[in-house]
Copies of this chain bind each other. A is one copy, B any other.
Amino acid sequence: MRIECIAIGTELLTTRRVDTNSVWLGEQLAAMGLGFHRKTTVGDSQEDLAGLFREALGRSDLILITGGLGPTFDDVTKEIFAGILGAELVEDAGSRADMMAFYAARNRVPPQVNFKQALIPAGAEPLRNQVGTAPGVWWQDPPGHPGVRIVMMPGVPREMKRMWEEQVGPRLRPLAGREVHTLRMVVAGVPESNLDERTRAVRERHGHLDWTILANLLQVELLVRGPDPAALAAVRADLEPVLGADLACIGDGNLEDAVLDLLKARGETLAVAESMTGGLLASRLTAIPGASTAFLGGATAYTVEAKASFLGLDPAWLGTVGTVSDACGGAMAEAVRQRLGATWALGICGNAGPGVEGGAPVGTVFIALAGPAGTVVRSHAMAGDRAEVQLRSTALALDFLRRQMALLGIKH
């Protein structure tokens, strides 16, 4: 089945707005053993849309479209497909009723322009929109194109996802081949090139599977896909000894999940004291539901005053050792560990730029880990802009803790 995705919206061509819908849809298809052969983003121009729709009808069996179903004059997805395929647009009573109910629940009356949203090409089926007013369209075997399926969904991610999960996904699943399983292994603390080299022999041994290595500032993901769970289990068994302590987790999680899971399994807790990362480490941990079982909290001690008030550090002493120093990082970690009674504490100080701070060049970072066996401070010199240095520092801190936990048995 040749599948393509079309995302409609001029703002996707000219602004910072990212088409996340097609990324999400690509993952959903991959889990069914299906995949896009291409994705296209196009603006609201009727001529560009008509050209693209004609091409798509000629090359794809399944066309997934997001956007252009709204009430305004430049929402013309249905109109253009109907025009190309010579079909009338007819009002769907159910869609009209849904829209009336949507507005009634909010004590409002739909504006006149909204009624065009209830129009559906003759021969197509409406897809109900449970969280918005624009219904979608499922158009199977449109005139002149037997075997083709056109699926139109709203551009609003929440509406599109709900429509996919409840209506589109279930209709496509029977058309998919064998279910595809994914083995996902997250590796931290090593560059992508290193991982590429170390895993080469295993990848060659299991060359019939689909391999992807994805690196970002925080971690490297290894994705292996195939129809046979036993084959993936064999890959996992081969990779575990190769990856050793660099393997952070297997499955859906990321580095922060790995750290929280380890803490919970050991019955231990974590506190953080952040200067340069300014709350980013804490926010990555608290983004995870249930973090409070192991994460007690932290101080964003961005200034000397905050380091004094929250952590009890002496401003005069800070003036001597410097606020970008191993001594400062270590004292931050030890103070927050003691104040919150945590098993472990991470302290981060440094200079994320753009200017030189306290004599420390941009990219200088001290990461301290205080734990049951004492305090260790590591220094780093990083390249990258402010956001990169901040993000990478949180990854290094989490990985530092993860590796120390692996080295150190549980002591209470």
Contacts and interface: CB of A to CB of B under 8 A. Distances in A.
A303 B310 contact: no
A279 interface: yes
Contacts of A295: 302
Contact of A13 (B35, B55, B286): B35
B287 A310 contact: no
Interface stretch (A38-46, A95-103, A136-144, A171-179): A38-46
Given A15-B223, A212-B15, A287-B387, A303 B297 contact: yes
- The residue among A297, A309, A339 with the most chain B CB atoms within 10 A of its own CB is A297
- A-B CB proximity, top 4 nearest: A278-B286, A279-B282, A297-B306, A279-B279
B289 A280 contact: no
A283 interface: yes
Interface string A40-61: 1111010010011001000100
B39 A41 contact: yes
Contacts of A36: 13-14
25 contacts: A14-B29, A14-B36, A15-B27, A16-B27, A17-B23, A22-B41, A38-B52, A278-B285, A279-B279, A279-B285, A280-B283, A282-B283, A287-B387, A287-B390, A289-B355, A296-B306, A297-B300, A297-B302, A297-B303, A297-B306, A298-B300, A299-B300, A306-B340, A309-B340, A310-B310
A10 interface: yes
B45 A37 contact: yes
Interface in A183-208: none
A23 B17 CA distance: 7
A78 interface: no
B26 A14 contact: yes
A390 B288 CA distance: 11
B310 A291 contact: no
Interface of A: 10-18, 20, 22-23, 26-27, 29-30, 35-43, 45, 48, 51-52, 55, 59, 212, 214, 223, 271-272, 274, 277-283, 285-287, 289, 291-292, 295-303, 305-306, 309-310, 339-341, 353-355, 386-387, 390
A386 B287 contact: yes
A18 B17 contact: no
Given A15-B27, A18-B20, A223-B15, A305 B297 contact: yes
B37 A42 contact: yes
A36 B41 CA distance: 10
A291 to B, nearest CB: 7
Contacts of A55: 55
A286 B277 contact: yes
Contacts of A16: 23, 27, 214
A283 B287 contact: no
Given A277-B283, A297-B299, 6 more contacts: A12-B26, A18-B20, A37-B45, A292-B303, A297-B303, A309-B339
A411 to B, nearest CB: 21
A18 B301 CA distance: 34
Contact of A286 (B22, B23, B296, B302): B302
Contacts of A18: 18, 20, 23
A134 to B, nearest CB: 14
Contacts of A281: 279
Contact of A278 (B38, B39, B287): B287
Contacts of A289: 353-355, 386
Contacts of A10: 212
- The residue among A15, A22, A26 with the most chain B CB atoms within 10 A of its own CB is A15
Nearest to A131: B383
